[in-house]
Chain A
Amino acid sequence: MNKIVLSVLFASLGCLLPASESVLEIFEFGKPEPVVRTALSGSPQDFSGSGWSCRAEKMNGPIAGWDLRFTSPRHEPVRLSVRLTSPLGFTPKRFWDGNKERNAENLPLERREFLEAFPLASAEDGRTGRALGFTPDTILSGFTRALTSDGLVLEARIVVDDRRVQELGIVDFSFDPEFGWRNAVEAYQTAYPKWFEPTPGVDPRIYGVSGYLGSAHLQREFLLHSNRKSRIEWEWTYAPWYESGNWYPPGEGWQGETNEYLSYYGHRKGKPITREEYHDVLVRQMQWGDKVAAMFYYILVKDIHQNVAKHYPDAVMPGTSGLHSLPSNAGKTKSAFAPGSPLFDYLKKQLKNVVDHYEIAGFSFDMANSSYHVDVPSQLEYAVGRSWYDDGKIFTSDTVAPIPFSDYIHTLKRGDKIMGTMFNAALSDFSPFTFFHCDGAIMEGLPEYNVSMILPLRLIMGRKPLTFWHGNQARNPLLHPSIVDPEKKEKAELGFRQFYLLKCYEFGINPMNWISGGPVFQPHLSAIRALSEAGYHPVPAVKGSDPFWTGRFGDGEGTLLTFSNPKRETMTRTVRVINRYLGSGTYGFIPQTGKLDQKFADGETVFELTLEPKEVVVLRTVTLKGDISELSVSADEKSVTLQADAPFEFTLPSADLAGRRIDYGKKFISGKTEKSVELPLLPACGIFAPEDAMVAFLAPEKTPALEAGAARDVRIAAEMTSLYRPTETASLRRFGKLNGNAGFLDAELAKPDLVISEPGSTSAGTLKICVGTTADFPELKIPENFPGPFLVMPDPNTLWIGGSTPEQVRKAALVYFDMLDREWSKREKKI
């Protein structure tokens, strides 16, 4: 607060500085008056003080800003406070501090906390907006932002010495606040696109559901089926090491004869094993896991076991750390700041070895949010993002530590696959500068656990995938303990689940596998994944929809809009979509089912939406050319029909949200019509034989031959076929019903009961299941030359699980297993 007063003071001192130019002030520690106070002109400017110098240059980029480079010839650190004031030139009505919007009637307004907020502040009056913030490549341990009578103010404490150049990138730009502060964030994300997308080459399964596979190495084969319903696509491979820091367990740092492997016998049922056994277990865990989900190898980069930490005292905080993950590590981990220490080199070698030896897609960082400040020597030496307390003591936020680890991991590859990083934002205190460096993140809880963190985390992540990391539980801890009435409890739990689901649609956030397989979420998984992959936009481009929750994802013809009704009453709204935000065309919208009448005028698409309480709709986009003013779009399981009041050209996605397609060979379909066109949909899987005849192939007494092609997805589909009966038998024995928890299934049964052979290896007339593409089985014919996944019986003794591509074969297999599930569910409690 003192600094704001000071700023106001300068303004009143007459200020010979032009009011329209941003003003830079630099304070040295212990000196109340600024050493530098100058308007930034646009030409390079040089400043200096006691043992430091600074060059300020205007940034050349899509949005205006300043690049400040601080250097010092001295090894002794210099503590500076850097303040930038950006005048507004208008009377602000609202101030957004990166997390919350506030009325700007009474100034100053300030946000001191840099955590849980986008690193930008904005002020606007409805017609003009101004934004000030730090660029995503900047790294800081804290900063404040404010709106004063002088304008927007940004202030950060930094440390300058000869160890490293300190760079502060500052964005300082005007914007049209048609959607308030959201326009400023959209402009920021557009200016720095790479920070809001996953690193190119990272496993694309990060866009899907995530969670724990929940099995041990002995039951890994069961994974193939036990996780089908949850649709898990990437795994948080919890603590696959015996001590933190020795992340490549069989390698450097191995302790003693044996060490415990956490989940040897089942989920978290450990066994001490030798170095060689440990390696074999990890190979198996990752290899089988990868067939189901991208493996993100779990690490703690800030909590290192004392057996490692003791060799690097300059990087280690006193006492024990709060996080150990393994019971055996409790009380034995140390809070460490590895960057700036040889410890970092040790840990990098561990990471490299993990990548070299195990089938992983990257690493998951637990607790990448902030817990403490670090003042050990390594942080001083690392010299990135250092700050200082009022008494001058230098520290670095622990949020800086994950950054160099993530950057290093992005340089590692397995084959062509770039290693990715998934960060845990926990439930509070995440730094934007940390999360700009990861490829995806989790919020470790239900959305209601911290409703105020969802939006800032979504904004910081941009188009990167996000997961609500929690799910089905016996009782929501927010539900009052006195509520024991089952009906009341169930009603409340349904409310929590609906809130969860609607937040997924609003922000394109995936649910976790603990809940994704359940009846509330399962029908929505394809749509939510599509949103996740299309990517969230801060500006909804939609007006008139309030109080519906609205989300916009993707661009142009790939745009998806979501609307949900969070209220307790049915509501109708006339919605206007501002087309220019989507792209340069005219856009109409396609419901998943039903009819949507739309009008076009003044660059807007207007339609009426009526939603029942908690109802959600997702609209796909059709790009239009032509002089039309009205369009009616109807869709169902069979077709999409477009009807307009004039001739038009159209482009729309080939696939709907359930996987049905207009054309399996194209992503988008274009055409031209006088007024109306009906586009038939092909099913997501062509089924050309009776279900009971197909499931009979895997009746208990049958042992069909199993022929399969060689492609990876085909092989996995074949392995799943050969393991279907053992998995479900184990499940029925253990639970009395089909249950997808492989961690507790009988490992003795985890053996395929069919032998996979090459196509054509079985004699004619043998009962057989063929798994493969049309190229694998050229002699077999598909009805209607169906171009997608299919299930067909070319003759009474042959079932073909097939498709044109290996991916299609795997999809067809999933449809077949659903059929088998229906049949096997009848056996519940009979085995």
Chain B
Amino acid sequence: MKGKWIAALLLAAPLVSLAAGEGDALKLRLIPSPNLVRNADFHELNEKGLPKGWHFDNCSRSPYFKSEVIQKEDGNCLAVNTEWKKFGYWLQDIPVQEGITYRAGVEVQSDDPTPGLWLMLQRKPDAAAWKGRTEFLTFRSTIMGDEMREALRDFVDEDLLVCMSATRWLLLDTAVPVPAGSGISACAMRVGIYGGNAGQARFRNPFFRAEQPTLEAEITGSGWTQLHVAGAVPETVKLDPAKEQQVVTVLLPKGKSLYKAELSDRECVRETKEICHE
């Protein structure tokens, strides 16, 4: 559980320095791609007190859906009340580019309904025929909730479990690849109720961003010749040994969580730092 939250926190707070260790010459920070979700904090409300930039897709045509924005000290969340086995989502269309893999997510709590994140890629009307995955769905039922956590208490350590809860936030997220040549130009992002029982589910911090964050390295002192980050693009950056201060950036590809940045002078690697992201 912790790792996920740390990653989410870091992505949400890009200015936090990730530099750690003994040396002072190398400081690293992750610069996440911008969140493409508009009004992701649910601060802009319409006359009904509901979030602007979103609209409700009542798939079950149920009259029982009722939504409200709840203002809390740690930020606004969107609450959706529902009856048994209904399906309805807050929807926002997000423009996307081909050839990029995005990551979409939202933090959820639930009293009993099943919160879901449903993403549907949309092709341009004139796009050529393309066969590939266009839907991504992730959800978590409350049946895997606090009762499960309690039942497993003496079997699996609590902090190793993914668990839906009425009081703790859980991140639902998924990768959304948009292949080159697919003709896809937008993604319908739905956050809402994917069946389950009657009650309320709550949502906050929805995000949709390119999955490749930028790693920014700040190098202090002269004599440094190169920075090597295995797996990054580019892997090796030549440095100017004459400079006292320089900043370089590399792209971190998706799918790898641990990177080692190695700072070298003319003789050997002098300083190494690790950085983790999801």
Using CB atoms and an 8 Å cutoff, list the residues of chain A in contact with chain B: 113, 370-372, 427-429, 448-453, 477-484, 488, 492, 495-496, 498-499, 566-568, 613-614
Contacts and interface: CB of A to CB of B under 8 A. Distances in A.
Contact of B148 (A448, A479, A481, A488): A448
Contacts of B157: 492, 495
A372 B151 contact: no
B156 A480 contact: no
B156 A492 contact: yes
A478 B161 contact: yes
Contacts of A113: 84, 197
Given A448-B151, A448-B152, A567-B154, A428 B162 contact: no
Contacts of B3: 480, 482-483
Contacts of A479: 156, 160-162
Contacts of A449: 143-144, 148
Contacts of B257: 484
Interface majority SS (helix, strand, loop, mixed), chain A: loop
A371 B160 contact: no
Most buried by A among B147, B151, B157, B257: B151
Interface residues of B, number: 26
A453 B84 CA distance: 17
Interface in B1-22: 1-4, 7
B141 interface: yes
Contact of B151 (A428, A451, A483, A498): A451
Given A484-B257, A488-B160, A495 B155 contact: yes
Q: What are the 3 tightest A-B residue pairs by CB atom distance, in nearest-first order?
A: A482-B3, A495-B155, A495-B156
A451 B161 contact: no
Contact of B160 (A372, A451, A480): A480
B278 interface: yes
Contacts of A370: 85
Contact of B2 (A477, A482, A495, A566): A482
A568 B4 contact: no
Contacts of A450: 141, 143-144, 148
Interface in B120-177: 141, 143-144, 147-148, 151-152, 154-157, 159-163
Given A372-B85, A449-B144, A495-B156, A482 B151 contact: no
A448 B160 CA distance: 14
B64 to A, nearest CB: 11
A389 to B, nearest CB: 11
26 contacts: A113-B197, A372-B85, A448-B148, A449-B143, A449-B148, A450-B144, A450-B148, A451-B148, A451-B151, A452-B147, A453-B143, A478-B161, A478-B162, A478-B163, A479-B156, A480-B3, A480-B160, A480-B161, A481-B4, A481-B162, A483-B160, A492-B156, A495-B157, A498-B155, A499-B152, A613-B154
A371 B85 contact: yes
Contacts of A495: 152, 155-157
Nearest to B7: A482
A450 B2 CA distance: 24
B250 to A, nearest CB: 23
Given A113-B84, A451-B143, 10 more contacts: A370-B85, A427-B143, A452-B147, A478-B152, A478-B163, A480-B4, A480-B160, A482-B3, A492-B160, A495-B152
B1 A480 contact: yes
Contacts of B144: 448-450, 478
Residue in B141, B148, B160 whose Cβ sees the most chain A Cβ within 10 Å: B160
Interface in B53-101: 84-85
A478 B152 CA distance: 11
Nearest to B156: A495
A488 B154 CA distance: 15
Nearest to B6: A482
Contacts of A496: 152, 155-156
Interface string B217-248: 00000000000000000000000000000000
Contacts of A482: 1-4, 7, 278
Contact of B162 (A371, A477, A614): A477
A453 B147 CA distance: 11
Interface string B244-278: 00000000000001000000000000000000001
Contacts of A452: 143, 147
A481 B278 CA distance: 10
A503 B151 CA distance: 11
A776 to B, nearest CB: 50
B90 to A, nearest CB: 22
Contacts of A478: 144, 148, 152, 156, 161-163
A498 B151 CA distance: 12
Nearest to A370: B85
Given A448-B148, A448-B152, A499-B152, A428 B143 contact: yes
Contacts of A484: 257
Contact of A451 (B147, B159, B162): B147
A61 B159 CA distance: 52
B109 to A, nearest CB: 17
Contacts of A492: 156-157, 160
A499 B155 contact: yes
A427 B148 CA distance: 13
Given A113-B84, A428-B143, A481-B162, A566 B154 contact: yes
Indicate the member of A483, A499, A566 with the most B CB atoms within 10 Å. A483
Contacts of A428: 141, 143
A99 to B, nearest CB: 11
Contacts of B2: 482
A18 B56 CA distance: 53
A328 B233 CA distance: 42
A568 B154 CA distance: 6
Contacts of A480: 1, 3-4, 159-162
Nearest to B4: A482
Contacts of B160: 479-480, 483, 488, 492
Contacts of A614: 155
B258 to A, nearest CB: 9
A482 B1 CA distance: 7
Task: With a 10 A CB-CB cut-off, give which of A452, A488, A614 has the most chain B CB atoms.
Answer: A452
Contacts of B161: 478-480
B265 to A, nearest CB: 33
B107 to A, nearest CB: 15
Contacts of B278: 481-482
A613 B154 CA distance: 9
Contacts of B85: 370-372, 429
Contacts of A371: 85
A351 to B, nearest CB: 29
A614 B155 CA distance: 9
A492 B147 CA distance: 18
Interface string B192-229: 00000100000000000000000000000000000000
A477 B84 CA distance: 25
Nearest to A372: B85
A452 B147 CA distance: 7
Contacts of A488: 160
A481 B7 CA distance: 12
Contacts of B162: 477-481
A37 B18 CA distance: 73
A429 B85 CA distance: 10
Nearest to A481: B4
B62 to A, nearest CB: 12
A217 to B, nearest CB: 30
Contacts of B147: 451-452
Nearest to A477: B162
A417 B85 CA distance: 39
A498 B155 CA distance: 7
Most interface-central of A453, A477, A480 (chain B CB within 10 A) = A480
Contacts of B4: 480-482
Which among B85, B163, B278 has the greatest number of chain A C-beta atoms within 10 A? B85
Nearest to A450: B143
A93 to B, nearest CB: 23
